[in-house]
Amino acid sequence: MKGLKKKRRIQVIVVAALALVLSTALIGYAMRDGINFFIAPTQVAENPPGPEEVFRIGGLVEPGTLIRGQGETVSFRVTDGGASVPVTYKGVLPDLFNEGEGMVGTGRLIEGVFQAHEILARHDETYMPKEVIDALKEQGIYQEPGGA
């Protein structure tokens, strides 16, 4: 009788471990397209990701680089003070998107140009995403809102 209980206990543990491994694998598979890493322009310039990698880039829209093309096509450069990366985007930009302001884009780096499929800008006059603030502070060009 003791041998049967021990065998049953081992079977339950093995089945539970397999269920845990399977559920972890399914969660990872489901999230593979939902995880986007933030990369600053300096990091993109130093170590460019492959064209198949979707990531987020953020910084300030470099003044004098915003070009509105035919229809909804827009190009500009995003910078963190250390490097700048050319960006193209086809779509309607957020209302508060301007040169010299913070932005975050999601897309791919193809032949040295970040092709964004989503652009986010601040939602009020003082907000800037934490990742952008950190990247700008790292380059020494971030200024607190309303401060010097």
Q: What is the per-residue pLDDT for 96?
A: 81
Q: What is the per-residue pLDDT for 18?
A: 96
Distance between CA atoms of residues 7 and 24, nearest Å: 26
Using a 10 angstrom Cβ sphere, with 0-12 exposed, 13-18 middle and 19 or more buried, the burial of residue 129 is middle
Residue 71: left if φ>0, alpha if ψ -120 to 50, beta else—which one? left
The shares of helix, strand and coil residues in the chain, as percent rounded to the nearest 5, are 30, 30, 40
pLDDT digits (tens, 9 = 90+) for 87-141: 999 988 888 888 888 889 999 999 999 999 999 886 555 566 677 777 777 777 6
Using a 10 angstrom Cβ sphere, with 0-12 exposed, 13-18 middle and 19 or more buried, the burial of residue 87 is buried
